[in-house]
Amino acid sequence: MSSPLSKPQIIAHIQKSLNYTIFDSKWIPCSAKFVSLGNFARGTGVMQIYEVQHGEAQLIKEVEKPKPIKCATFGATSLQQRHIATGDFDGNLNIWNLEVPEVPVYSVKAHKEIVNSIDGVGGLGIGDGAPEIVTGSRDGTVKLWDPRQRDSPVANMEPVEGETKRDCWTVAFGHAFNDQDRCVCAGYDNGDIKLFDLRNMSLRWETNIKNGVCCVEFDRKDINMNKLVATSLEGKFHVFDMRTQHPTKGFASVSEKAHKSTIWQVRHLPQNRDIFMTAGGAGNLHLWKYEYPAERSKKDSDDVDMGSKMPLKNIFSIGIKSLFHYLNDTGLVQRI
């Protein structure tokens, strides 16, 4: 029988109370600094930069913005520049130089309504091909942006005329394993999950998980699609095996109901893609590990390849009275 100490332990390293609502937070790559983003009660946005010093989070810069900031990514920047891209409540996509964060180095009116989610690829040495940013909005559109091209998106994925526009809550890049291939996964308020193939500019796959999709993430952006996790309202998440796509059944999946409330976020450990964490609205964190089946694919009755369900193991769970966002360093999680 294993002892409690044989399992991973989650210990609070730094805690800090703030006077605003935080919507996103990100480590500044290759540093001991992180950015915290959100909005003040008076309706303005805020960007704070902290540095971890002597076991404390020290505020080194704060800038107030006209609009609340909803989401952010470093995914399309270089390690030399380390510019952060943000989406705000007014539908703007801005890119900021954190050395002088008062004025954006790039700004575009990306959407008609709030930018709910943002992701980047091609920067930080992650993903082949040009640096790109994807945004998802309440206006129902998913747009692809090249930071070198101003004013207009590279691609615009929106419902066809006459189709109801659903609120896009989450977007994520994946399949960026060479210069040509790249996919975007988007999740919507009605439970739809759509996978867009950017090479062929087509909808590759879609499904519905019967609850609003809060977060989607591939285990890695820069490999041939392997695994995808989608979290939802009412405490359930789904894991899809993206290696084998059946022509009619799609991708094999398994679901878990591990939280008693909405699962707002999922993040994979950068150093080990088989480990991921889910964060629930009641302040619970659950750490999971994939357990691969003996065979990743099998034949159906028509001798067509189909994927196998991937078992999961709950490594550790902890209850903390706040929501958490993962940061890209082994063993570090940021409290917000």
Give the span between the Cα atoms of 242 and 307, in whole angstroms. 8
What tokens were used for 191?
């439970």
- Residue-wise pLDDT tens digits, 254-274: 999 988 899 999 999 988 999
Residue 2 has pLDDT above 60, yes or no: no
- Residue-wise pLDDT tens digits, 94-116: 999 999 999 999 999 999 999 99
Give the span between the Cα atoms of 134 and 206, in whole angstroms. 18
pTM of the model: 0.90
- Residue-wise pLDDT tens digits, 67-99: 999 999 999 999 999 999 999 999 999 999 999
Give the span between the Cα atoms of 300 and 324, in whole angstroms. 41
In DSSP terms, which residues pair with 172 in a beta bridge? 185
Give the span between the Cα atoms of 271 and 284, in whole angstroms. 23
- Residue-wise pLDDT tens digits, 138-182: 999 999 999 998 889 999 999 888 888 999 999 999 999 999 999
Output the pLDDT for position 9.
72
Mean pLDDT is lowest, of 12-16, 120-124, 189-193, 231-235, for 12-16
Q: What angle do CA 182, 104, 125 make, to 5 degrees?
A: 35
Residue 331 has pLDDT above 50, yes or no: no
The mean pLDDT value for 132-139 works out to 98
Q: What torsion, rounded to 10 degrees, do the Cα atoms 325, 171, 104, 43 define?
A: -60
**pLDDT grade, residue 284 (50/70/90)?**
confident
The mean pLDDT value for 126-137 works out to 93
